[in-house]
Amino acid sequence: MHFLPTLLAAFTATTALASSNPYPDGAACLVKHPNIYTAIQDFCSKDNMVVPSTYANAGKSHGGKWVGIRGNCSPPQWVPSYYCTTQLQAVCANAPANGDNQATFGRNGCQTFVTWAA
């Protein structure tokens, strides 16, 4: 009989945590693809990234997984760290088992956020 109150408390705590998380896809990405998650943390720590750029195109890798942003934006578009993180984590969270995925973002869709096996 103690199961239901415990279950309700756990659900309430999980719901509160999820609603306060600024990176909602981060948890799913971490569970599904921990190496991609780590690469995202490293890659998106740069606060003055623009696309296109050598940095965005080169990306970062960790544990055999790679992340980066490809694009041909003209003029180059700034990618704030928050958007880099949240958008790459969404790509990661929606990736299949091998982690390969991509999605288009940015003004005029000129930025392609990519995750894949290096």
- DSSP per residue over 85-104, as a string? HHHHHHHHHT--TT--EEEE
- Residue 8: inside a domain: no
- Residue 101: inside a domain: yes
- Residue 17: inside a domain: no
- Residue 104: inside a domain: yes
- Residue 71: inside a domain: yes
The rounded average pLDDT for each run of 10 residues, N- to C-terminus, in the chain (118 residues) is: 43 44 85 97 96 98 97 96 97 97 96 93
- Residue 73: inside a domain: yes
Neighbours of 23 (CB within 10 A): 15
- Residue 16: inside a domain: no
State the residue range of the domain holding 47. Answer: 23-117
Looking at the structure of the chain, the number of domains it has is 1
Question: Per-residue b/e over 34-54, b at no fewer than 16 CB within 10 Å?
Answer: ebbbbbbbebbeeeebbbbbe
Q: What is the pTM of this model?
A: 0.80
Looking at residue 117, its pLDDT comes to 87
| Encoded tokens for 23 | 């990176």
User: Which pairing describes strands 77-78 and 65-71: parallel, antiparallel, or unpaired?
Assistant: unpaired
Rounded to whole angstroms, what are the CA distances from 7 to 4, 19, 26, 31, 84? 5, 18, 24, 22, 35
Q: Round to whole Å and give the CA distance between 98 and 68.
A: 16
